[in-house]
Amino acid sequence: NAGVMQNPRHLVRRRGQEARLRCSPMKGHSHVYWYRQLPEEGLKFMVYLQKENIIDESGMPKERFSAEFPKEGPSILRIQQVVRGDSAAYFCASSPRTAYNEQFFGPGTRLTVL
Amino acid sequence: AQSVTQLGSHVSVSEGALVLLRCNYSSSVPPYLFWYVQYPNQGLQLLLKYTSAATLVKGINDFEAEFKKSETSFHLTKPSAHMSDAAEYFCAVSETNNRLAFGKGNQVVVIP
């Protein structure tokens, strides 16, 4: 059973470009979470999705950030018009259901904005 | 809202010595608590979790943690440090909607 997969592992964008980060959850997992890790800080929750639904996006910046988890295919975190402050590691996690189950983390995508 | 405090961003320990990482939480409901380890340029791996069963929780690689409700603590220990334990360790508490709130982490350095 493959683990959580994220791609690309490293992404370089210039200011103003768009960044698309992909996450394929573990087989059988229908819950996906995105976290952001800034330098010298722990991980911060961004958004929680189930298939075709956003359950909790209280950690998402109000502008330029969006997320989806379609019926088919990976979950996508999209950042429009990137700025240098968006440079961070973005981690995806998945779980089979709610009620405080363990979340399984992917290897992360390290975004660098030039 | 639940939160986690980890003091001391960098922790140095001699090889073979006790590893002790402190975690204090705040939660308005019975908490579910986790310790994760992150090796350089990798994702997080679960070490152990507390989900209201036994208060002393054993995890992988000889790590264990004890839940103490009176002290709102969930400290992580390992009797004897190995060089391979050099990594960053995060304590986390489960919030509403199963999202995790993480502490700022402890970077562990093992001295030969």
Instruction: Write out pLDDT tens, residues B30-89.
Output: 788 999 999 987 889 999 999 877 889 999 999 999 999 899 999 999 999 999 999 999
Helices (H), chain B: none
Residues B68, B76: Cα–Cα separation, whole Å: 12
> A100 and B36: CB-CB below 8 Å?
no
Report how far apart the first and last C-alpha atoms of chain A are (Å, whole number). Answer: 37
Segment B9-21 shows an average pLDDT of 95
Residues in B closer than 8 angstroms to A93, CB to CB, are: 44, 100
> B100 and A99: CB-CB below 8 Å?
no
DSSP β-bridge partners for residue A56: A48
> B98 and A105: CB-CB below 8 Å?
no
Instruction: Read off φ and ψ for residue B25, nearest 5 degrees.
Output: -125, 160
What's the one-letter identity of residue B98? Answer: N
Q: How confident is the model at residue A4 (pLDDT cuts 50, 70, 90)?
A: very high
Residues in B closer than 8 angstroms to A48, CB to CB, are: 97-99
- Whether A88 has a pLDDT exceeding 70, the answer reads yes
CB A92 within 8 A of CB A34: yes
For position A42, what pLDDT does the model report?
Answer: 79
Mutate to test the interface with A, among B9, B33, B100, B104 (most CBs of A within 10 A): B100
- The DSSP annotation for A33-84 comes to EEEEE-TTS-EEEEEEEETTEEEE-TTS-SSSEEEE--SSS-EEEEE-S--G
